[in-house]
Structure 1
Amino acid sequence: MTKHTPWDKEAAARVRSAVATHPDCPSARDGLDREAQSQADKNEHQDDDC
């Protein structure tokens, strides 16, 4: 079973960088960079609420 780690801003930045470097990769075509940033933003706001 895999471990689930919520997206954070650093992870989202790594994905965006990889997508910018390799725009034809499957992650770029799937929009993973946008999804990662969206989830990181959501997780950051949830942490602020505590």
Structure 2
Amino acid sequence: MGRETPMDREAADRIGAAAEQDPQSATAVSGFDERADAAAERNDPGSHDYDDDQDDDPDDN
């Protein structure tokens, strides 16, 4: 099996820009730009908005 490189924000942005530049391209019509964006969000720990208050008790803040 080959090496895998996780999708990062920079790569997803390049893919999105290419899809916007040519909306009829295979990248755009296949939805690859949207999947790349979702993968970059999953792989970028700084982009998540975690809720530290796990029990959802408003009085615990």
TM-score (norm 2): 0.67
The answer to which structure has the higher helix fraction is 1
Percent sequence identity over aligned pairs = 35
How many residues align? The count is: 47
Could you tell me which runs of 5 or more consecutive residues in structure 2 were left unpaired when the two chains were aligned.
49-61
| Runs of 4+, deviation exceeding 3 Å | none
Compute the RMSD of aligned alpha carbons. 1.9
Whose Rg is larger? Answer: 2
Structure number with higher relative contact order (C-alpha < 8 Å, ≥ 6 residues apart): 1
Task: Please list every run of 5 or more consecutive structure 1 residues that lacks an aligned counterpart in the other structure.
Answer: none
- When normalised by structure 1's length, the TM-score is 0.80
